[in-house]
A and B are shown apart, each in its own frame.
Chain A
């Protein structure tokens, strides 16, 4: 592989996004969890939940900072690395980009207020109300930015003739066919991952021998939410598959190693592809692909071979797809088991193996976010604007992209290390039991 500008620009964009997406996910999901915890705490007058909200918020702010700065990076890198793309696409899709900054603005303002007004209102509920604009702001940011990504997959709302864009309809461009399924999937999976990351922390503390009620409440709250979000994510995933089958069949076909168009298509799980493009060791579920795509076991599913060879996405995205789906199902099962064990007498929801499974769910759900995103992006290749512009046509022509790539890699490594150290230090020096004591039992 030659490291030309296109590859390097893609590498740098990938690195920034892969790093940013972790913090973006936390930024979208954790405010929801904080808000729920604070609300329960106020309603039940339970200091445990109030403390939970406070401590989550403190950790959250640090991740927000990294999210904000890396978000700024990707915002500018779009123009720095893909100037030709932005010049064309900007004419049609700059509306949601612009609105995203508004949402971000809104969130930033209220997050600042939320952080520093814990004890300033006579009625605690007023403070809780401040979390609502934070949630609206962060989820709206996710919504707007996802519409831009959706637009790259199924562009509409304009006409392109001889390189000139006419008949522009920004609203139609924003609400393109990919928007509903993508937005739904992005939001639910962000909520899911956040619930599991917070659940991981609680489970880990319990495993370390902490016995306070506080940790058990934290675990229960995160697992109940985790289950709801995991279920919704599965629904969103199903909707996404149906969307792909209809509007972007090459992505589904590449992800499913479905080469020939046929009725009653089988669903392939796992397996490998050998050098002759033969599938080996896969689990084959008869007619399931047709069912997943169209709710009909005999429906015709378009195969990858229908597309010209230079317009096919790489087939390795099948592995990404498998990992994503597996982890998704894993989160459903683990949170469901916890709920069952918690409800039924005689079962122990805090048994070692279950707690470890929950701990594992934290990193796994972030991996699912990453591979799901890779599946979505690589599945769009070779297009940057499906049907109109290829990735290769959009990249910058400037020199030194490689050097910038290295600089940013170093930057992100430093950030990751320092951010983790800071977060660990923050809570290690101040365990919840101690804080509970001085804050609520004076």
Chain B
């Protein structure tokens, strides 16, 4: 495997990791706010904060890791995306900042502040929406190079049906992933009342993810037909994704094996995400940046891969420890510790 391919695969893996853990976090924020509005907060919010409190900081790191790695491996992306995405990037940053800090403010500081909870819940939906537009932009057609200038065509992005279907997909996916996880967590916590509520959320948001995916397929055909055709080469990946979705939904519906159900949800998104990513190659930004043209030099590339592998030896045991203490420790989950 070429080193460029190794690099982008690793980065894509981290983005996938972010997609899962951040979705749980973003969705949970929304559900917590929704719970407050519908006066169900006494049932679910305790469960949500029990899971989120020890891991929220880790979520953010996945994202930082992805973009720092991307710029390290493919410095040209900094130049193109950096120039073009000043405004949307800054808005996403403001949202992330508000979300992260207000989470801490409400969680560790004064309890029960409605404004904090609203900011936290609303940003949970706006962030995935704004971040997902970067994937849309990568399809090409929204950034133009005129001479030495990089120009971002914001109006075209805002009027593109493809762009909006991606936003729609991002939001419903967040809610579905999060609800599926919370169902599993509530079940482990043996919290019947919470389980009923979050299970309903999961079932409610399940089919929209498929509808949204179909919309994305259709609009992509209009927007970038070459990519659409490449995606067809990976039809089996998307097939697997659909099968996993059906398995997950069935398990949740029949109230069985919520843990396995959540793994199926993760696989559903794994196959879809990697099917999309693989067919997107070699482009990072169609048509200006490919993983080959943007690649850093050989020395740095190799060094980064070595460091990355060394780093994994440090991170994986630590992550396992974290999960063991807070996710797989039944007593903690049940609130006994």
Instruction: Using A87-B78, A120-B337 as known contacts, say yes or no to A396 and B97 having CB atoms under 8 A apart.
Output: no
Instruction: A403 to B311: give the CA distance in the assembly, Å.
Output: 39
Task: Determine whether B100 belongs to the interface, using a CB cutoff of 8 Å to chain A.
Answer: yes
Q: How far is the CA of A68 from the CA of B65 in the complex (A)?
A: 13
The answer for the CA separation of A425 and B111 in the assembled complex, in Å, is 11
Query: In whole angstroms, what is the CA distance A106 to B83 when docked?
Result: 31
**Taking the complex as formed, is A340 at the interface, i.e. its CB lies under 8 A from any CB of chain B?**
no
A418 and B120 CA atoms in complex are apart in Å by: 14
Cβ of A32 within 8 Å of any chain B Cβ, yes or no, is no
B232 CB within 8 Å of chain A: no
Q: Specify which of B64, B80, B102, B314 is in contact with A106 (CB 8 Å cutoff).
A: B314
* Pair B63/A396 contact, Cβ less than 8 Å: no
Q: How many residues of A contact B (CB 8 A)?
A: 74
Nearest Cβ on chain A to B288's Cβ, whole angstroms = 13
Query: Smallest Cβ distance from B139 to chain A, in angstroms?
Result: 20
Report if B94 contacts A (CB, 8 A): yes
**CA separation between A407 and B319, bound complex, in Å?**
36
B150–A397 contact, CB under 8 A? Answer: yes
User: Does B96 sit within 8 A of A, measured CB to CB?
Assistant: yes
Q: When the two chains form their complex, are residues B53 and A116 in contact, meaning their CB atoms are under 8 A apart?
A: yes
Closest B residue by C-beta to A66? B101
Report if A115-B54 is in contact (Cβ < 8 Å); known contacts: A102-B314, A104-B61, A168-B299. yes
B68-76, B170-178, B207-215, B257-265 - interface stretch? B68-76
- Report Cα–Cα, A87/B150, bound state, in Å: 14
Nearest CB on B from A137, distance (A) = 10
Say yes or no for A413: interface residue by CB 8 A criterion: no
Q: CA of A426 to CA of B105 in the docked complex: distance in angstroms?
A: 10
Bound complex: CA A62 to CA B329 (Å):
26
How many angstroms from the CA of A398 to the CA of B56 in the assembled complex?
33
- The reply to whether B300 and A86 contact each other, CB–CB distance below 8 Å, is no
Task: Judge whether A69 and B149 touch: CB under 8 Å.
Answer: no
Interface of B is mostly: helix
Given contact pairs A396-B83, A411-B97, A90 touches B78 in the complex (Cβ within 8 A): yes
Q: In the complex, which residues 71-115 of chain A have their Cβ closer than 8 Å to any Cβ of chain B? A: 71-73, 75-84, 86-88, 90-92, 94-95, 97-102, 104-106, 108-113, 115
Chain B positions 2-56 with a Cβ under 8 Å from a chain A Cβ: 53-56
The 8 Å CB contact of A76, one of B69, B93, B299, is B93
Set A97, A109, A423: member contacting B58, Cβ < 8 A: A109
Q: How far is the CA of A105 from the CA of B64 in the complex (A)?
A: 9
Mask: chain B, 94-108; 1 = CB below 8 Å from A; 0 = not? 101111111111001
Interface residue B293 (Cβ < 8 Å from any Cβ of A) = no
* Chain B 306-337 interface residues, beta-carbon cutoff 8 Å to A: 307-308, 311, 314-315, 318-319, 321-322, 325-326, 337
**Contacting pair A69 B303 (CB below 8 A):** no
The residues of A that contact B152 with a CB separation of less than 8 Å are 398
Q: In the complex, are the beta carbons of A86 and B79 less than 8 A apart?
A: yes
Question: Are the CB atoms of A105 and B65 closer together than 8 Å?
Answer: yes
Chain B 281-306, CB within 8 Å of chain A: the 1/0 string? 00000000000000011011001100
Q: In whole angstroms, what is the CA distance A400 to B303 when docked?
A: 37
Decide if A108 touches B57 in the complex (CB within 8 Å).
yes
Nearest B residue (CB) for A398:
B86
| Chain A residues, Cβ within 8 Å of B57 | 64-65, 68, 108, 111-112
B159 contacts partner chain A, Cβ-Cβ < 8 Å: no
Across the interface, A62 reaches (CB within 8 A) one of B71, B81, B108, namely B108
Residue of A nearest to B326 (CB): A116
- The smallest beta-carbon distance between B137 and chain A, in angstroms, is 14
Chain B interfacial residues counted at CB < 8 A = 68
Give the chain A neighbours of B307 by CB distance below 8 A.
95, 98-99, 102
A68 touches B69 (CB 8 A): no
In chain B, positions 132-189 with a C-beta closer than 8 Å to chain A are 148-150, 152
Instruction: Tell me the chain A residues, 396-429 only, with Cβ under 8 Å from chain B.
Output: 396-401, 403-404, 407-408, 411, 415, 418-419, 422-423, 425-426
Chain B residues whose CB sits within 8 angstroms of the CB of A403 once the complex forms: 87
**Contacting pair B104 A91 (CB below 8 A):** no
- Residue on A nearest B105 in the bound complex, by CB: A422
Which one of B79, B86, B304, B318 has the greatest number of beta carbons of chain A within 10 Å? B86
Q: Do residues B86 and A101 form an inter-chain contact, with CB atoms below 8 A?
A: no
Contact among B78, B80, B94, B318 for A109, CB-based, below 8 A: B318
In chain B, what residue has the closest Cβ to A425?
B110
Q: Which residues of the other chain, B, contact A101 by a CB distance below 8 angstroms?
A: 61, 64-65, 68-69
B60 CB-CB contact with A under 8 Å: yes
Taking the nearest CB of chain A, how far is it from the CB of B96, in angstroms?
Answer: 6
Is A70 part of the contact surface with B, judged by Cβ < 8 Å? yes
Interface status of A352 (Cβ within 8 A of chain B):
no
Residues on B with beta carbons closer than 8 Å to the beta carbon of A78: 71, 78
A94 near B300 with CB under 8 A, answer yes
Report if A91-B297 is in contact (Cβ < 8 Å); known contacts: A65-B103, A109-B322: yes
Complex: A171 Cα to B94 Cα, angstroms: 34
Contact A404 B64 (CB under 8 A): no
- Contact at B311–A102, with CB atoms within 8 Å? yes
**Which of the residues A73, A418, A423, A425 comes within 8 Å of B93, measured between beta carbons?**
A73
Q: Indicate whether A83 sits within 8 Å of B105 (C-beta atoms), given known contacts A73-B97, A170-B303, A411-B98.
A: no
A423 to B103, CA, bound (A): 14
Contact assessment for B54 and A116 in the assembled complex, using a CB-CB cutoff below 8 Å: yes
Smallest Cβ distance from B230 to chain A, in angstroms? 28
Chain A nearest CB from B154 CB (Å) reads 10
Contacts of B72 in A (CB 8 A): 90, 94-95, 97-98
On chain A, the residues within 8 Å of B304 by CB distance are 94-95, 98
Distance of A171 Cα from B307 Cα, bound (Å)? 12
Using known A-B contacts A86-B78, A86-B82, determine if residue A75 contacts B64 with beta carbons closer than 8 Å.
Answer: yes
Q: Report the nearest B residue to A105, measured CB to CB.
A: B61
Question: What residues of chain A lie closer than 8 Å to B82, measured between beta carbons?
Answer: 79-83, 86, 396
| B60/A69 in contact, CB under 8 A | yes
A381 to B235, CA, bound (A): 55
With contacts A95-B300, A170-B299 taken as known, whether A398 is within 8 angstroms of B75 at the C-beta atoms is no
B85 within 8 A of A: yes
Interface pairs A-B: 3 shortest CB-CB: A65-B104, A94-B72, A83-B82
Which residues of A are interface residues toward B (Cβ below 8 A)? 58, 61-62, 64-66, 68-73, 75-84, 86-88, 90-92, 94-95, 97-102, 104-106, 108-113, 115-117, 119-120, 133, 165, 168-171, 396-401, 403-404, 407-408, 411, 415, 418-419, 422-423, 425-426
Beyond A87-B78, A112-B55, 4 additional contacts (C-beta under 8 Å) are A80-B82, A104-B64, A111-B57, A113-B321
29 contacts across the A-B interface (CB closer than 8 A): A62-B105, A62-B108, A65-B101, A65-B103, A66-B104, A68-B57, A69-B97, A72-B64, A75-B64, A78-B78, A87-B76, A90-B72, A90-B75, A94-B72, A95-B304, A98-B304, A98-B307, A102-B311, A104-B64, A109-B319, A116-B325, A116-B326, A168-B300, A169-B299, A398-B83, A400-B86, A404-B87, A408-B94, A418-B102
